[in-house]
């Protein structure tokens, strides 16, 4: 039997609109929209699968321990000479000396080979492939979709008609993409390092802070490009190949406008004790790791603030900006 409300009893007050609840609802909606894999995201997944397979092949063929440079022989001999003897200098029989020499040389050579394997993996996989190519491509695959997907789907105008400040919409989109881009980039880096065996696991423990800081900076930069351009993916790819690959390897101070430069500096300092150094320090002109981290975090905040200003003032219509 239905209950009849007493006409003298006032109705409960309706829930008052809340901008905070509306903002969190937009974050949740955007988070689920990011889960809809599009073309660029599938490209990122394909690149991860290909890179992991090639790294696993290198590990299976023991490529990280294979000397690839003539200077390796000199490096090995210098390392053997630098290790102090592990046995007592007391007089021993010739046979005992021979056994001690063999044990000493084997232990020193094994340590040197492990260090060389890490250096080979760090230079060939982390610095040359992951940081210069894979990381920017993975970041732009997710970051350009946050606003670019709204434009392509025709829902950006509807989104802007909601009673939320534009800067808060931009911030909500950025917050929603962070779990995806950070999870994919750090997870993808972990997959590559796991495929690299022991040298890869060492690299994972040393380099993940640099990967995290670079991911945040790339995400803020490509999110800003999505607010400024109707084709943010094309602009982001052009930036990745021109600034991060070409300009990032040029001599002088121009490379300091690239994100990868500061991530490299953090990696070089993190693995300095293992012998990882720039091949040409006079060309790279590195900064210390603390400064590099501060620059990347400050750039993330500055790019995010700039993006909120641009998004608040730009004029958007059904065809784009």
Using the predicted structure, report yes or no on whether residue 119 has a pLDDT greater than 50.
yes
Using the predicted structure, report yes or no on whether residue 79 has a pLDDT greater than 70.
no
The rounded radius of gyration (Å) of the Cα atoms in the chain is 27
What is the full DSSP assignment across 87-132? S--S---HHHHHHHHHHHHHHHHHHHHHHHHHHHHIIIIIIIIIII
What is the full DSSP assignment across 171-206? HHHHHHHHHHHHHHHHHHHHHHHHHT-HHHHHHHHH
Count helices and strands in the chain by DSSP H and E runs: 12, 0
Cα(207)–Cα(190) distance, integer angstroms? 10
CA 96 vs CA 84, 85, 182, 208: distances in Å: 18, 14, 56, 46
Per-residue pLDDT tens digits for 227-267: 887 787 788 888 888 777 777 667 667 778 889 999 999 99
Maximum CA pair distance of the chain? 111
Per-residue pLDDT tens digits for 268-299: 999 998 888 887 777 778 889 999 999 999 99
pLDDT for 145: 78
Phi/psi for 320 (5° steps) reads 120, -160
Q: What is this structure's pTM?
A: 0.77
Angle at 35 between CA 309 and CA 191, to 5 degrees: 105
Of residues 225 and 81, more confidently modeled: 225
Nearest Cα neighbor of 270 from 222, 315, 209, 313 is 209
First to last CA, the chain: 57
Average pLDDT of span 74-78: 43
Average pLDDT of span 92-102: 49
pLDDT for 32: 81
């Amino acid at each position: 039997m239905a209950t009849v409300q007493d006409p003298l009893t006032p109705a409960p007050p309706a829930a008052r609109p809340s901008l905070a609840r509306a903002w969190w609802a937009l974050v949740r909606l955007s988070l689920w929209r990011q889960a809809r894999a599009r073309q660029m995201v599938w490209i990122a997944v394909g690149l991860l699968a290909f890179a992991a397979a090639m790294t696993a092949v290198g590990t299976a063929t023991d490529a990280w321990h294979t000397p690839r440079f003539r200077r390796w022989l000199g490096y090995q001999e210098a390392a053997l000479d630098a290790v102090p003897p592990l046995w007592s200098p007391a007089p021993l029989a010739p046979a005992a000396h021979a056994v001690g020499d063999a044990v000493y040389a084997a232990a020193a050579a094994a340590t040197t080979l492990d260090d060389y394997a890490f250096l080979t993996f760090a230079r060939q996989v982390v610095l040359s492939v992951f940081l210069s190519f894979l990381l920017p491509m993975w970041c732009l695959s997710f970051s350009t979709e946050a606003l670019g997907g709204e434009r392509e789907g025709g829902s950006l105008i509807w989104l802007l008609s909601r009673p939320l400040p534009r800067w808060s919409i931009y911030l909500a989109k950025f917050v929603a993409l962070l779990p995806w881009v950070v999870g994919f980039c750090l997870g993808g880096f972990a997959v590559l390092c796991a495929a690299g065996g022991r040298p890869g696991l060492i690299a994972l423990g040393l380099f993940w802070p640099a990967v995290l800081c670079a991911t945040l900076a790339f995400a803020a930069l490509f999110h800003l490009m999505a607010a400024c351009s109707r084709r943010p993916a094309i602009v982001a790819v052009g930036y990745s190949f021109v600034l991060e690959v070409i300009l990032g390897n040029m001599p002088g101070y121009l490379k300091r406008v690239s994100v990868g430069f500061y991530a490299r500096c953090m990696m070089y300092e993190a693995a300095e004790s293992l012998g990882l150094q720039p091949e040409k320090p006079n060309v790279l002109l590195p900064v210390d790791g603390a400064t590099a981290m501060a620059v990347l975090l400050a750039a993330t905040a500055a790019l995010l603030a700039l993006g909120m200003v641009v998004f608040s003032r730009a004029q958007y219509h059904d065809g784009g900006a």
